[in-house]
Amino acid sequence: MNADISTTEIKVIELDSHNYENRNGYDADFLEKKVPLPSIPDNLKDDVVKLKNSNSEELKYTNFSVVLSKSRGLAFYTAVNIDGSELQQLERKNDVWYYDPRIERNFQYGPELYSNNDLDRGHLVRRLDPVWGSNFKDANEDTFHFSNCSPQHKNLNQKTWLDLEDYILRNADVHDLKVNVFTGPVFNQNDLIYRGKYLIPSEFWKVVTIVKNDDDHSISSTAYLQTQKQLIEDLKFVFGEYKTYQVSISKIESLTGLDFGNLRNFDPFSKRKDIIPVRIINNEKDIIL
C-alpha cells in the first residue's frame, strides 16, 4: 500500500518496496567500453547508505542509480545511461515526490528543507535523461525521488547547466547517441548550515562519457563544475550569477574523493597543455571535447 504524506507545498508519497523490483539501474556495459560506477574512498565508506536488510549501497531506478551519504542526506553521486535514439519527450505534469522505502527515512532530505525559500529540489539525474526504453514512464517518475535531488538555488536550477548533455548529444560524433553521465554535489565542511540542520552544497559536478565514432571507437570523458556560492550566502537577498566551468576529471576526484578509474585517461581537457586548469563556460563554443 502507498502512504500519502501531506505537505503544504507538494504531494509526497512513499511506495511499497515491491514497486522497485523491476528497476535495472545504471548499466556499466551500456557503452562499448565498460564504465563502472565511481568508487567511494575508504574514509567515507561508513557514511554510505545501505539498503535495508542488504549490504548493497546502490539504489537502482529505471536506467539510473544513486549512492547516498548518511551524514548529508543527499547523493554522493548519481549515474545515468542515456540512449539518444530512444528518448521520449514526456511533458512534466503535477509533481509528485517520493521517499524511497528501501532506505531509512532519516537519510533522505525531504520537503521540510525546500519550503518557504528560494531552494529548488534540483534533479541530479535530469528528468528526461533516463526516459527511454520500454519502461520510460517509470524512469520519469523515478527521477522525482528525494534521493535524486539536491538543494539548488532557483537561479541555478532553473537556468540549466547550459544544456551540456544536449550539446554533447547534438554536436559530438558519438556512437549510437549513447552517453553515461555521473553527477553529484561537492561536500565541504564549510558548507552553509541552513535551518540549524541542513548543509547546503555550494558546488555541483558532472562527468560525461561518450564513445566517439572514430577508427578506435575511443572513449571521451569530460568534467564540469558549477557553483552556487554567491547565490546561497544569503538565501533571501543575494542574487548573484552562477558560473559553469570545464575542469579535469582529476579535479573532480580531488574535490569529492571519488575515484573514476581510468576515465581520467580519456579526458581531452587534461591532455591540452595550452589551457588553464579551469575554463569558464560562457557558451557552447567554450567546451572542449
Average pLDDT, the chain: 83
Alpha-carbon torsion (155, 254, 124, 168), positive or negative:
positive
> Quick one: pLDDT at residue 66?
98
How far is 30 from 190, CA to CA, in rounded Å?
37
Q: How confident is the model at residue 51 (pLDDT cuts 50, 70, 90)?
A: very high
- For 177-211, write each residue's pLDDT tens digit: 789 999 999 999 888 889 888 998 988 999 999 88
- H/E element holding 182? strand 174-186
> Quick one: pLDDT at residue 118?
83
Q: How confident is the model at residue 236 (pLDDT cuts 50, 70, 90)?
A: very low
- For 56-96, write each residue's pLDDT tens digit: 999 999 999 999 999 999 999 999 999 888 888 888 877 89
> Quick one: pLDDT at residue 84?
83
> Quick one: pLDDT at residue 289?
64
Domains, the chain, ordered by start: 3-286 (3.40.570.10)
How far is 164 from 206, CA to CA, in rounded Å?
9
- H/E element holding 97? strand 96-99
Instruction: Give yes or no for a contact between 289 and 220, defined as CB atoms under 8 angstroms apart.
Output: yes
- H/E element holding 140? helix 136-142
Q: Is the pLDDT of residue 4 over 50?
A: no
For the chain, the residue count is 289
How far is 107 from 70, CA to CA, in rounded Å?
5
Q: How many CB atoms lie within 10 A of CB 181?
A: 24
Whole-Å CA distances, 213 to 161, 169, 176, 185, 198: 25, 13, 9, 31, 44
